[in-house]
Amino acid sequence: MDHYEAILEYFSNAKEPVRAGTVAEETGIDRKEVDKVMNKLKKEEKIVSPKRCFWEIKK
């Protein structure tokens, strides 16, 4: 599984909005890579921010 799929799956399974740092810690993926993938997910409108610095899967 590549980083994109792993991070998307993490967001799908998250019960509440999470920060990028938490995603990096929980998945074991480097923070810079998490930021890159999250930027791509934002552009694709797959994740949204309900409050500042927290992200969740778009429902």
Domain residue spans in the chain? 3-57
What is the pLDDT at residue 6? 96
Is 90 exceeded by the pLDDT of residue 23?
yes
CATH of region 3-57: 1.10.10.10
Six-digit token pair at 30? 């480097």
Q: Is 28 helix (H, G, I), strand (E, B) or coil?
A: coil
pTM, full prediction: 0.90
Nearest to 3 by CA among 39, 53, 54: 39
| Residue 5 pLDDT grade (very low, low, confident, very high; cuts 50, 70, 90) | very high
What is the pLDDT at residue 3? 96
Which pairing describes strands 47-51 and 54-57: parallel, antiparallel, or unpaired? antiparallel
Is 80 exceeded by the pLDDT of residue 45?
yes
What is the pLDDT at residue 14? 95
Is 90 exceeded by the pLDDT of residue 1?
no
In whole angstroms, what separates CA 2 from the centre of its chain?
Answer: 14
